[in-house]
A = this chain, B = another copy of it.
Amino acid sequence: MSTTPGTPTTDWLRLDQQICFSLNAASRAFGGLYRVLLKDLGLTYPQYLVMLVLWEHGDLPVKKLGEHLRLDSGTLSPLLKRLEAAGLVRRERSARDERSVEVGLTEEGAALRERAVQVPLRIAAATGYEVEEIGRLRTQLDELTEALDAAAAAESAGRP
């Protein structure tokens, strides 16, 4: 790959910073607001995401949970242990497939949902965006994610 004529390398290095960096900053800013709002619930932001999935889909094996969240067992195992220690979640080996671990909500975990409802409302208010606008942004980001994942996969499997 060669440098495009008329575009000094300096500009590329700056432009580059803006895309990935802005995304990174926005993600961390979300994390910061969630941290504040979730403090009362005793949840971290990733733990909250796990609870969202369980509230929506009910009991799931770790594998499925990971697919919803794009996370692997290396991240989920310790996180789930902490949720279990907090009494929000149960973990038990599946009877029919001993490799699999079923993750389910305890009563306390299910009850927490009531208190969690206010969180997205406050988040939405904080963004200052309309629902429709958020949807557009989400779509764009999902497309971006797909393209980046594909590129990373292509790169790590012998250069295409």
Contact = CB atoms under 8 A, between A and B. Distances in A.
Interface of A: 1, 3-4, 9-10, 12-30, 32-37, 45, 49, 52-53, 55-56, 69-70, 113, 116-129, 131, 134-135, 137-138, 140-142, 144-145, 147-152, 155-156
| Residue with the greatest number of chain B CB neighbours at <10 A, chosen from A13, A36, A148 | A148
Nearest to A8: B117
Nearest to A4: B121
Per assembly, the copies of the chain total 2
23 contacts: A9-B117, A10-B56, A13-B120, A15-B120, A17-B53, A19-B123, A21-B49, A21-B69, A22-B141, A22-B142, A22-B145, A23-B23, A23-B27, A24-B27, A24-B49, A25-B145, A26-B27, A26-B145, A29-B149, A35-B152, A36-B155, A125-B151, A127-B148
Contacts of A155: 33, 36-37
Contacts of A25: 70, 141-142, 145
A56 B9 CA distance: 11
Contacts of A137: 19, 22, 140, 144
A1 B126 CA distance: 12
B28 A26 contact: no
Contacts of A52: 13, 16-17
Contact of A13 (B29, B117, B122, B138): B117
A117 B33 contact: no
A45 B147 CA distance: 18
